[in-house]
Each structure stands twice: as structure tokens, then as C-alpha cells.
Amino acid sequence: MTDIFSIPVSPIAKSRRDSVDFGHLTFGQEHTDYMFIARYSSGSWQEARFEPFANLSLSPFALGLHYGQTVFEGMKAFWQDSGQVVVFRPDRHHERFNLSLERMAMPAVPKGLFMQALMQFLELEKAWVPANPGSALYIRPFVVATEPRMGVKISEEYLFLIVASPVGPYYAKPLRVKVETHYTRAAPGGTGFAKCGGNYGGAFLPARLAREEGFDQVLWTDANHHEFLEESGTMNLMFFWEGILRTPPLGETLLDGVTRDSLLTLARDMGIRVDEAPVRWRVLEGALREGRNVEVFGAGTAAVVAPISWVQLQDRGYPCPAGPEARMFVLRDALEAIRLGRQPDVHGWNHAV
């Protein structure tokens, strides 16, 4: 076991924290004082250190800039009522990080290095964890290929960084979404289950086209026949369908969301029926047309629960209940209560700094 405070720190001259307006935080705009950085070469991670947040210097030949070997994670840290800073389920984020890295033929980050870097990072940056209700420090670990070579090949050099951004309360404005039946996010055998850069780059154009048609996001469907619903933009897709919590099953084309897993677990704890089974959009359409009570929402670290108030299925659209009385918010509140230490953390999800 390595000493938790053993990674060297190049100290900042002066914290930027006092120049940041914590009352008006926009997602991902402000960075904290430090970044963690480690270098991979000759088959191992080395030179782990904390440095003042600064631009990177990369060769224009760096493989990651050309061929997309980039993988990231996103998680949050909170102040609990007791005055303790906690990170939510970092072990699960670490496992997924390595699954993504493996899929992209990139080197794994050992759990010891990941946790030590994360915990020391939070110790250094505690003052950057916002205290106002609903706020959090969003933490972004990522790995990028840096070997300077023009030829298409697996990089033998990488950087592993951790950066963070204080984020304000997520304003859960209900989303209007359309079911995407032309473009594909993920195909069987592809990289859909990995949090790798290309998945997002490929999703931007369909998202922009949807916005031009007046929608906030697309609901992705399967690559084979565009028949089954898979995800909601960059969130997992869930339904409160006449009292049953339904969500598409995990597989190669879905991201295994930590929020999805947590909400399913909490629902089971509460005695809510849970059904992880494929959902045809035509079946959703039938239910909405008959006026059945179907709540539709996205689940992810940023919003926890993102209500959807309108679903467009080709040329017909349907409203969905997304008001404050919706049952999806009972799940969100249960998750928040655990994060803030207001309910017992029976599953051991909070990792204290």
C-alpha cells in the first residue's frame, strides 16, 4: 500500500479560487488549480505528479490527435452535511475506465494509481468542491495517445490526466427528444460501451440536426433495424412505465452508466419493479398514443435524472409527464440523499476523502 500523499506536487503560486463566481457556475467552464499527470512509456506509468493546471505540449504527430485513442471518465465529489467530502462510486468508474481503455487498445490504469491520484487531487482541491446545494466538483480522468508517429498504429506512449471543474446545480429543464432512425451511435462489435472520444464526435452532427428541427437531443436506436431504443443523447434511457422502472439491457452498444446502476439498485431497495428488457420505439409509441402513464428520462452523472417531456417518433410527437410530481424524481432524491449523507449509504457508494 502506497502512502496516499506520496505523489509529488509542483505548487501553484496563488489559487484562482477567489476569482471564480461560485454562485454562477456553468458546466465545464472553470478549472481548478491543479492537474494530475502521469506518462506511459516503455510499458509502464511513470512520473506521476501534480502540476499547476496548464496547456499541454504535444507533437502535431501525436497519434491521439489523428486516430482517436482517447478515453475519459466523469464523476462527482460533494460536501456532505457532516463536513466530509465524498466521491461517488470511484471504484466503479475506475473499472469502466479500464474496460474503455482495453477496447481502445490502450494501457490499463492500475487501481492503486487511479485512487491515489484521485484522493490526493481532492485533498489538494477541497476548496474547489462547491458547498451550495446541488453543486459538485466534476472530475474528469482521461488518457490520450501521445506517441509522435504519422502512421496508423497503436500508440506506445500516453498521458493520464485528472482535471476538475466546479459545477452548479443542474437545472432539469424537461427535454424534447426525437427518436433517431437514420444515424447510429453504436453498433454490435463497435465501441458503444466505451467512453472513448470518437463516440461523441460521431454523435454531434445528428444532435445538431435534431436541434435544428427543434429538439434537445436524440434517442438512439439499434444499428441493425432502428427498432429498439438504446440511449438518450449521452445518458442512459429509463422509463417509469405504469409503475415499473424499465430500461434497455446492457450490451456492447450501451454505456454501463453508474447512475443507471445506482437508480436500478435504489428502485429494487424500494420495492419498485425493475425490468431490464429491450424496448421497441413502436411499443413506446403505442403506449403514449393510448395515453398510458409513461415517464421518460435520461440518467447520467451530470443531471442524475433528466426528464423528457416530449418524444417525437417520426412524424408524430407525444407529451410525457415530467412535472415535479413525476416518480423519476423520487429516485433522484433518494440518490441525492445518499450522496449528501442524509440517508445511510448501505451500498458503500460514497468514498470519503
Residues that bind ligand PLP (CB under 6 A): 74, 195, 231, 234-236, 255, 257-260, 300-301
CB contact at 8 A, 63 and 147: yes
**Is 159 strand, coil or helix?**
strand
> What CA–CA distance (Å, rounded) separates 217 from 232?
7
* Coil, strand or helix at 179: strand
The smaller minimum CB distance to ligand PLP, of residues 75 and 124, is found at: 75
- Would you say 97 or 281 has its CB closer to ligand PLP? 97
Closer to ligand PLP by CB, 120 or 191: give it.
191
Work out the burial of residue 205: count CB atoms within 10 Å of its CB; fewer than 13 is exposed, 13-18 middle, 19 or more buried: exposed
The secondary structure of residue 174, as a DSSP letter, is P
Q: Which amino acid is at 242?
A: E
Please identify, using beta-carbon distances, which residue of 89 and 176 lies nearer to ligand PLP.
Answer: 89
- CA dihedral (18, 22, 23, 24) in degrees, to 10, reads 110
200/99 Cα distance (integer angstroms): 17
Cα(163)–Cα(79) distance, integer angstroms: 18
- Supply the minimum distance, in Å, between the C-beta of residue 197 and ligand PLP: 11
Residue 297 in contact with residue 229, Cβ under 8 Å?
no
Cβ distance to ligand PLP smaller for residue 168 or 298: 298
Q: How far is the CB of 46 from ligand PLP (least distance, A)?
A: 29
Residue closer to ligand PLP by CB (options 147, 206) is 206
- Dig out the grid coordinates for 282 from the structure: 413502436
- Shortest Cβ 340–ligand PLP spacing (Å): 18
Q: Are 183 and 205 spatial neighbours (Cβ–Cβ below 8 Å)?
A: yes
Closer CB to ligand PLP, 62 or 75, in the complex: 75
Phi, psi at 339, each rounded to 5°: -60, -40
**What is the SS3 assignment for 80?**
coil
**Whose Cβ is closer to ligand PLP: residue 200's or residue 318's?**
200
Minimum Å distance from CB 211 to ligand PLP? 18
Dihedral (CA of 177, 182, 188, 189) sign: negative
User: How far apart are CB 255 and ligand PLP at their closest, in Å?
Assistant: 4
Measured distance between the N- and C-terminal CA atoms of the chain, rounded to whole angstroms: 17
Phi, psi (degrees; rounded to nearest 5) at 154: -75, 130
From the CB of 173, what's the least distance to ligand PLP, in Å?
19
Comparison of 116 and 259: residue with beta carbon closer to ligand PLP:
259
CB of 349 to ligand PLP, least distance (A): 12
Q: How far is the CB of 200 from ligand PLP (least distance, A)?
A: 7
3-state SS string over 245-291?
EEECCCCCCCCCCHHHHHHHHHHHHCCCCEEECCEEHHHHHHHHHCC
Least CB distance to ligand PLP at residue 300 (A): 4
